[in-house]
Chains A and B, each alone.
Chain A
Amino acid sequence: MLLEDEVALLRKLPLLSRVDPARLKLLCFASGRESFAPGEILFREGEPSSGAYVILSGSVDVFRSEADRHTVKTGSEVEVAIVGQSSMLNDTPRHATVTALSDVEVLRINSSCFMQLMTSCCKSSEGVIRSLGAQLGKNPGQQ
């Protein structure tokens, strides 16, 4: 999968769908592609954040010990998922433990590049704020 394809997939994420295309591509460039085998852990609850993971293919299990709840997130060419988004945005420790359920391909978003992008482009940050707002509207209890 090349940079161009990753950009197209990232665009499917609500969080990034309204970000300026040139900047999205740059964010993608500065981020790193990683893969995990089934059973491997992407990150553990309580660890310091090292950026959000966008699941490009495969499924992961998200476990929050606080709520004692497992959720499965899956990414494919049709739709991608994002994990670790809130700890990247707040720069707080991880809220959940994420484990690969299958072979997983991810893009680890470079959080400092993401923040620079937000501060350097109003249009992009406005887009991100809107999509965060939409998320808030959908599940007000969780945020």
Chain B
Amino acid sequence: MEPNIFRYIWMHTRREQILIVMVVLVSMIPYYLALDLPKQIVNRPIQGMGFEEPGSTQLFFRIAPTLPFIGEIRIFEGVALERVPLLIALSLTFLALVIINGLFKFYINVRKGLLGERLLRRTRYELVDRILRFPPQRFRQAKSGEMSSLVKDEIEPLGGFAADAFTQPVFLGGQALTAMIFIFVQHFWLGVVAAVMASIQVLIIPRMRRRLIRLGRERQLTARELAGRVAEIVDGIQTIHTNDATNWERADIVARLGRIFSIRYDIYQWKFLVKFLNNFIAQVTPFLFYSIGGYLTIRGSLDVGQLIAVINAYKELPGPLKELIDWDLARQDMQVRYEQVIEQFEAEGLVDPARHDIDAEIPPDTLGPLAMQRLFLRNEFGSPLLEDVSLQVAPGETLAVIGESGGGAPVIGEVFAGLVAPSQGRIVLGERDLGQLPERVTGRMIGYAGPAIHLLGGTVMDNITYGLKRRPADPLADGNPEPDDMREWRLKEARMTGNPVFDKDLDWIDYDAIQPSLRDAGLMAAIHEVLEVVGLRGDIMSFAVHQTVDPDATPELVAAVLAMRSRLHARLTERDLAGTVLPFDRGRYNAEATIGENLLFGIPAERNASIGVIVSDPFFRETLVATGLLPRLFDLGRNFARVTLDLFGGMADNPDLLQWLTYMSPEELPEFEHILSQTETGGADRAKPAHLVRLVRLAMWYIEPKYRFGLLDDGLRDMLVEGRQRLDRQMPAALRDHLQPYDPAAYLARATILDNILFGKINRRIGRSEERIAERVRSILAEAMAEDRKLRDAVLTLGLGYDIGAGGRRLTLFQRQRLALARTLLRDSRFYVFNEPLSGVDPVFQERMIQDILAFLAGQPEPPGIVWVLANPALAHHFVRKAEFSRGRLVAAALSGTGDVNDNLGEFQAVIS
């Protein structure tokens, strides 16, 4: 990138800069007119100059400039006006000029802002584009936090500066120069004095500023490092905690903050010292004028009028000079920032943009095998990683790469995928060098899944289709709801700032890139199939059923869920399910639900509805009193509190153990202790209302089988069911809106799909009941989805809409690994390179997944070539061939399954040493 900021700005904004300068020049005319007009208003209509006789008139708006050599040119003769009309006319002119000036200012500022923002957009794009084109080795020393802070924050002021880069010095310099010339015209020696003082300013101040620049550079460096460290802390928080390194991190941050502070303090000292000197020089000049000019006046070589004119002119000088110096400071600051940013984004061997060309065609001569030819690879210190390796895989072949860790096998995976460029030798696809082929070709030809999984923040869908997002669909076919002119504007702006005109809102999925065996069934069916192959379908279904949906928006889904509910309930009597779900039954107490849930027998109806409204309504209390529940619940709540205090009272200093207390916060423990001391069992009628409410509310949380405190008997259960009926019968309409009662025929809007299918509580008393139920729900869901494709797509869409969090943090490692595999398998490629994609997975699972994936790929119309780097050599027999690496060399290559390791070597590189 252009190292000089001015050349950079000029290169990209020259047309706009010139336009702005022109407009500013034009705007000067009304500006000076507006300055001149008040004098005219005062002199002519107000003081009456030229109106000495009543009835005399003056010309208004006479345009007749007098030009040298040509004389007066009459453009407009003007209108003759009397005194008062003239006053009004001139005043209105003044108003018009004020508006015109304001509009000019508005226009200029908008243009300047636009210019700055366009340049900023261009620069940011260029920087990110560079990251995308960095050679792989560049990333070894790059810290993501620093990079992003460069793109986001440090380059930000560039926009503001770009607008002023040329206009500001031109005008301020012009103003300052005019004032200076004026002084020289008045008196030569006084002009010399002013010039000398100004040049002292111009010579000394920038010198002192140099230190400021250096400090500024340091400040930026340290601040950026701080940003990088903070990012590291966030990314490595688990490592920090497990190593008990929080205090070390604190020390490190403190040291860095201290360094930044001392630099900034230094900057302030210098900055204000410079300012002081600057002001001093500016103020000392009038002193010279007064003393020298005054002396000259007394001597008679200068008249008073000239002296006053000089001093007045000099008053005009500091304004522009100060602003010029400010501009200069901004310039230096910006130059430093800019250089630093550019420096970080310079890299040897940036990828040629042609390799990222979106329209690149697949050359016909790439259809041969993927092969390494006498390939050597060294690391950055020059030690060999691979030595003289020749190895190939043809479409339809499967090759296992094995070898002790550090022996080079994983590097083979990276080389085959084109992630690492060889130091010597070639890696070719057919006749073409892999390093020369556009990524559009290599990406299409070679699918890769490695040990380092990178998922994007977003949904499962975003990630699984990531490999298909290769180019946008035709905008016409897309039916884009955005108005055409908006779209045009967006694309025009992108073009103006050197951004490519890619439209993100279009459908980027390349449907032709889906695996051929799945292509015709559509994207959803294909995803469904691939999820099955990697064993992720159950997880996605589980994401789906844990979501809540708006029943009005998805009537088909709601109907299907209700059907599944009755299907599940019909099977609840089957042997392995018996008793595992306690359905909501209006006539019976639900043992696994809280007392509160049993009483109200429903869930909040809408997003803004609240059970609290019902419980705090007098009606609720009246019902409890009428059914005789109030004293019973008071006693229960009291005992509940007593046992809880007994359990947790001594654990106050132990936050880990307090997490098991779920129905009250630890802070409430002392409050309940107090309430217990103020009340007694059977004393509901004597208790203070506040205490009564607290204990009854606590009782609402009780679940007998969960807590096993023996507080609930059958008599109370019956009373609670009776209370439930009474609440239901007598509830006022206003409260009814807040509660959606459990109705076997209705969809519960605020509950998850799973809870809607269950329509009851899982009986935890039965061993592994949750597992059994989950399995049964899954199979019912799978059945329903197999029958109804629309339902399948609806559920799948819900599951795929699950937000996996930054980098997939909301998924388990195994889920992430499988999602990465699914992403690779969804796309049709000629070759697949699997580089230990399942490290850390149970060997039994691993073997099954390898078998499933191999079978899936072998089932394609044109089976692809597969390279699988295996950490576990015992699994190599699933592949047709195997290649073993040791110390960077290919030591054995064979048809796997044959005992003779050196068989078939004619095709491979012979064993060396």
Residues of A in contact with B (beta carbons under 8 Å apart):
1-3, 6, 22-23, 25-26, 29-30, 32-36, 40-42, 46, 100, 104, 106, 110, 113, 116-117, 119-120
> Digit string of B414-439 for contact with A (CB within 8 Å is 1, else 0)?
00000000000000000000000000
Is there an interface contact between A29 and B767, defined as CB atoms closer than 8 Å? Answer: no
Is there an interface contact between A29 and B707, defined as CB atoms closer than 8 Å? Answer: yes
Q: A3 contacts which chain B residues (CB < 8 A)?
A: 643, 707-710
Complex A-B: 7 CB contacts under 8 Å: A2-B710, A26-B647, A32-B764, A34-B767, A41-B768, A42-B767, A116-B654
CA distance A116 to B657 in the complex (A): 7
CA distance A100 to B706 in the complex (A): 22
Which 8 residue pairs spanning A and B have beta carbons closest together? A34-B767, A116-B656, A36-B767, A30-B660, A2-B710, A3-B708, A120-B654, A2-B708
Given contacts A6-B708, A26-B648, contact A33 B656 (CB under 8 A): no
CB nearest neighbor in A for B656: A116
CB nearest neighbor in A for B653: A120
Choice from B647, B656, B765 contacting A35 with Cβ under 8 Å: B765
Is there an interface contact between A29 and B660, defined as CB atoms closer than 8 Å? Answer: yes
Given contacts A26-B651, A35-B766, A40-B767, contact A120 B656 (CB under 8 A): yes
B650 near A: Cβ within 8 Å? yes
Given contacts A2-B710, A3-B709, A33-B708, contact A120 B657 (CB under 8 A): yes
Given contacts A32-B706, A32-B764, A33-B705, 15 further A-B contacts (CB under 8 A): A2-B708, A3-B709, A22-B647, A22-B651, A26-B648, A33-B708, A34-B765, A34-B766, A34-B769, A35-B766, A36-B766, A36-B767, A40-B767, A117-B657, A120-B657
Q: A22 contacts which chain B residues (CB < 8 A)?
A: 647, 650-651
Minimal beta-carbon separation of B329 from chain A (angstroms): 58
CA distance A32 to B648 in the complex (A): 18
Minimal beta-carbon separation of A110 from chain B (angstroms): 8
Is there an interface contact between B657 and A29, defined as CB atoms closer than 8 Å? Answer: no
CA distance A25 to B764 in the complex (A): 20
Q: B654 contacts which chain A residues (CB < 8 A)?
A: 116, 120
CA distance A46 to B765 in the complex (A): 24
Is there an interface contact between A34 and B764, defined as CB atoms closer than 8 Å? Answer: yes
CA distance A110 to B659 in the complex (A): 13
CA distance A2 to B710 in the complex (A): 6
CA distance A2 to B639 in the complex (A): 14
> Digit string of B605-640 for contact with A (CB within 8 Å is 1, else 0)?
000000000000000000000000000000000000
Q: A25 contacts which chain B residues (CB < 8 A)?
A: 646-647
Minimal beta-carbon separation of A134 from chain B (angstroms): 26
Minimal beta-carbon separation of A143 from chain B (angstroms): 24
Is there an interface contact between B765 and A113, defined as CB atoms closer than 8 Å? Answer: no
Q: A34 contacts which chain B residues (CB < 8 A)?
A: 764-769
Is there an interface contact between B709 and A33, defined as CB atoms closer than 8 Å? Answer: no
Given contacts A42-B767, A106-B767, contact A113 B657 (CB under 8 A): yes
CB nearest neighbor in B for A32: B764
CA distance A116 to B661 in the complex (A): 14
CA distance A33 to B765 in the complex (A): 6
CB nearest neighbor in A for B654: A120
Q: A42 contacts which chain B residues (CB < 8 A)?
A: 767-768
CB nearest neighbor in A for B706: A32
Q: A26 contacts which chain B residues (CB < 8 A)?
A: 647-648, 651, 657, 660
> Digit string of B740-769 for contact with A (CB within 8 Å is 1, else 0)?
000000000000000000000000111111
CB nearest neighbor in B for A115: B656
Q: B643 contacts which chain A residues (CB < 8 A)?
A: 3
CA distance A3 to B708 in the complex (A): 5
CA distance A3 to B647 in the complex (A): 11
Q: B769 contacts which chain A residues (CB < 8 A)?
A: 34
* A-contacting residues, B184-217, CB 8 Å: none
Q: A120 contacts which chain B residues (CB < 8 A)?
A: 654, 656-657
CA distance A32 to B705 in the complex (A): 9
CA distance A116 to B768 in the complex (A): 24
Q: B767 contacts which chain A residues (CB < 8 A)?
A: 34-36, 40, 42, 100, 104, 106
CB nearest neighbor in A for B644: A29
Q: Most A CB atoms within 10 A — which of B648, B654, B708, B844?
A: B708
CA distance A132 to B847 in the complex (A): 37
CA distance A1 to B844 in the complex (A): 41
CA distance A1 to B707 in the complex (A): 11
Q: A1 contacts which chain B residues (CB < 8 A)?
A: 708
> Digit string of B695-716 for contact with A (CB within 8 Å is 1, else 0)?
0000000000111111000000
Q: A110 contacts which chain B residues (CB < 8 A)?
A: 660
CB nearest neighbor in A for B649: A22
CA distance A113 to B647 in the complex (A): 14
CA distance A3 to B709 in the complex (A): 6
CA distance A131 to B844 in the complex (A): 35
Minimal beta-carbon separation of B825 from chain A (angstroms): 26
CA distance A113 to B660 in the complex (A): 8
> Digit string of B27-68 for contact with A (CB within 8 Å is 1, else 0)?
000000000000000000000000000000000000000000
CA distance A32 to B762 in the complex (A): 13
Minimal beta-carbon separation of B244 from chain A (angstroms): 14
Q: Most B CB atoms within 10 A — which of A3, A22, A29, A30?
A: A29
> Digit string of B647-690 for contact with A (CB within 8 Å is 1, else 0)?
11011001011001000000000000000000000000000000
Q: A32 contacts which chain B residues (CB < 8 A)?
A: 706, 764
Minimal beta-carbon separation of A20 from chain B (angstroms): 9
CA distance A20 to B767 in the complex (A): 28
CA distance A108 to B769 in the complex (A): 13
CA distance A34 to B592 in the complex (A): 13
Q: B651 contacts which chain A residues (CB < 8 A)?
A: 22, 26
CB nearest neighbor in B for A120: B654
Q: A117 contacts which chain B residues (CB < 8 A)?
A: 657
Q: B646 contacts which chain A residues (CB < 8 A)?
A: 25
CA distance A42 to B765 in the complex (A): 13
CA distance A34 to B767 in the complex (A): 5
Minimal beta-carbon separation of B774 from chain A (angstroms): 14
Minimal beta-carbon separation of B524 from chain A (angstroms): 32
> Digit string of B117-146 for contact with A (CB within 8 Å is 1, else 0)?
000000000000000000000000000000
CB nearest neighbor in A for B704: A2
CA distance A120 to B658 in the complex (A): 12
Minimal beta-carbon separation of A97 from chain B (angstroms): 13
CB nearest neighbor in B for A30: B660
